[in-house]
Amino acid sequence: MNMASLSYIVYVLASLFNPVSFFLYGHHSHYTGSSNSSIEHDDQYKLALFVFGDSLFEAGNNGYLPNITTELDAAIAWPYGETFFHYPTGRFSDGRIVPDFIAKYAKLPMLPPYLQPGPHDFTDGCNFASSGAGVLVETNPGKSLGFFKDVRKSLQQKLGGLKAKRVLREAVDLIGIGGDDYFRFYSDLPNATESLQLEAVAVVIGNLSIILQEIYDLGGRKFAFQNAGPLGCIPYRRQIYNSKEGCVEGLNSLASLHNTALVSVLKEFESQLLGFKYSIFDYYNSLDDRLRNPAKYGFTNATDACCGIGLFRAAYCGGENGTKPYELCNDVRDYLWFDGSHTTEIANIPMAELIWSGTPNVTGPYNVKQLFQQVLI
């Protein structure tokens, strides 16, 4: 069955407009168990991690684009990277991001951005994520897929067809995408009715289905998703919509609808595609709980960004390489947010732990550690 067929897109639309009882992970769940242990695995199965996503997962690809400037990509300038790397790497944080820790727990090296010059060992995987990426035509999903096809060809040339197939089959494809698509929609239609929101979600989910089918056809079998976070609570979105007293509810509504549909779609994929396994990390409620109860997680400030200017210090972190004024907090460890849209390294660590080995009420039906342990014949 071709999951990207018209009939499947119709199925997605039907499921959204006729809600059924979806399996959803618990609200405000908090996983506290030890979760950073790495896995033991049979050496005949080479582990690899391929990362697809937007700025939350980007390791620096956009910094290698032609004619890039700090105005277009703030993360290539100071103070991004200040905590761990001590220089900007193109990651939108003060230090490491979630995929860096997932690679560490899997006993893999820190994955370089695909566009970084020089030799790559794609048997470990690669990071294709790019700031601004999404699943709609406007957010250019074909770029990452094109990179993945090139990696597949490279693996076939290096290892031969059979071993390359095994690497791709046993790899985990970590995906965090969709936010930029909803930001665009909400910018155009901030007063959209629920019916229009559902249509927008159906289009995003339909395009995501096509992308998943293509990755599956190229050999991917294990898919780990970070669902959409509370998009309307991001400080930068609150700033641009002047939402001083609370979150932008229209954006949160889109994220919630997306997450409900994502569960349905992945269940359907699992039932139809041989060997398809998946994980969903409930990023929405995990982040929401930190926003509501920052002290519970060791933060003194979950409202403002550490770096930036304006309402919630949510814009212009780095001041376009120092050409514009901006403020920087005294201790980044006190903050949930580094800039107006991205969390601090100290916030990323427990999120990565939850993705890696969180319990089923937070990350399921498998966590990523369990996905790696699944040996597909």
* Residues recognised as catalytic: 55, 339, 342
Cβ-in-10-Å burial (0-12, 13-18, 19+) of 203 comes to: middle
Q: What distance separates the 2 farthest-apart alpha carbons in the chain?
A: 58
Q: Among all chains, which residue has been given the structure tokens 């609370």?
A: 246
| Chain-centre distance for alpha carbon 333 | 22
Q: Is 86 left (phi over 0), alpha (psi -120 to 50) or beta?
A: left
Instruction: Tell me which amino acid residue 156 is.
Output: Q
Q: How many helices (H) and strands (E) does the chain have?
A: 12, 10
Q: Among all chains, which residue has been given the structure tokens 């400030």?
A: 301
Residues 46, 170 contacting (CB under 8 angstroms): yes
Residue 27's DSSP bridge partners are none
Q: How far is it, in rounded angstroms, from Cα 144 to Cα 176?
A: 13
Which pair of structure tokens corresponds to residue 243?
């939402």
